[in-house]
Amino acid sequence: MPARCRAGADNHLMARYDQIADFYIGVVGDDVTDPATAALIELAGSVRGRRVLDLACGHGRVTRELARRGGRLVGLDSSADLLRAARDAEAADPFGIEYRLANAADAEALTGETFDVVVCNFGLSDIDDLSGVIGTVERALRPGGSFVWSVLHPCFPGWDADAPSSWGPNGYFDEGWWLAGNPGFRGRVGANHRMLSTYLNEMIGHGLVIERTVEPLPDEGWADRWPEGVPVPVYLVVRCQRPIVTGAA
């Protein structure tokens, strides 16, 4: 049975993912063609010559892909072990990527930094302080810049032991960190469930304008697990913009 757990402080997130770093890398690998990641990269658009932050970058699979496309990348994560793997990959095949160990929700994170694009692939549900991390994005994103993020769809109810729902045993409206009863990521390090409205309102509350949303279909392997096809959304990908504020006429 899924277990409801008290939300941990962000300074413990490093321990969560350091404990499963090898497992995580082995499962996720370097491929960026899964539906949500591919949609995130597409919504990020052309990054050539642009300064890009990959927030909650993990071992750097999206970071390296955006660097291959000509972006000037900074990767930020709270897991020292995942960043070690990212730096090893950079040393073996350099793209000029800078990796930083930091808590993205910290008010001091990225002080004085400016980025044209910020991406976060499946990372927001791993960060306990959503308002803090979106505040960091707001500060670091230049006016006119884009923030593109993906999550397991907040409305996804799950459909077998390997794909637990977005929410815990108390249902969709009960927000917070929880630990699933399965051997995957959510059964090993847990995740924060938030309602769809919470994510969107957090963006709006920090002055970000929602430009586009995508709900990519899962790949055929997922669809085959449901005999009547895919009845519910599995992923959510959103692009927001920090608007350019012009002076009054």
Q: What percent of the chain has pLDDT over 90?
A: 79
Q: What is the CA radius of gyration of the chain?
A: 17
10 Å Cβ neighbour count for 142? 15
Tokens of 120: 């976060």
Q: Is the pLDDT of residue 128 over 50?
A: yes
Q: Is the pLDDT of residue 228 over 80?
A: no
Pairing relation of β-strands 72-77 and 51-55? Answer: parallel
pLDDT at 13: 42
Place of tokens 């009054």: 248
Over residues 31-79, the pLDDT tens digits come to: 999 999 999 999 999 999 999 999 999 999 999 999 999 999 999 999 9
In the chain, where the domains are located: 3-153+199-241
Alpha carbons 201 and 222: distance in angstroms, whole number: 30
Alpha carbons 211 and 177: distance in angstroms, whole number: 28
Superfamily of domain 3-153+199-241: Vaccinia Virus protein VP39 (3.40.50.150)
pLDDT at 15: 61
Alpha carbons 177 and 171: distance in angstroms, whole number: 13
Best CA proximity match to 57, nearest among 127, 6, 7: 127
pLDDT at 177: 96
pLDDT at 152: 97
Residues 24-27: contacts with CB under 8 Å, at least 24 apart: 24/58, 24/59, 24/82, 24/185, 25/59, 25/82, 25/85, 27/184, 27/185
Alpha carbons 206 and 184: distance in angstroms, whole number: 33
Tell me the pLDDT band of 7, cut-offs 50, 70 and 90. very low
10 Å Cβ neighbour count for 41? 21
- Specify the range with the lowest mean pLDDT, choosing from 9-18, 50-59, 180-189: 9-18
Alpha carbons 244 and 158: distance in angstroms, whole number: 39
Tell me the pLDDT band of 220, cut-offs 50, 70 and 90. confident
Q: Are 76 and 190 in contact (CB under 8 A)?
A: no
Task: Report the predicted TM-score, pTM, of the whole model to 2 decimal places.
Answer: 0.92
Q: Is the pLDDT of residue 213 over 60?
A: yes
Q: For the chain, how far is it from start to end, CA to CA, in angstroms? A: 61
pLDDT at 249: 44
Q: Is the pLDDT of residue 110 over 80?
A: yes
What does the pLDDT average to over 98-121?
Answer: 95
Q: Is the pLDDT of residue 14 over 70?
A: no
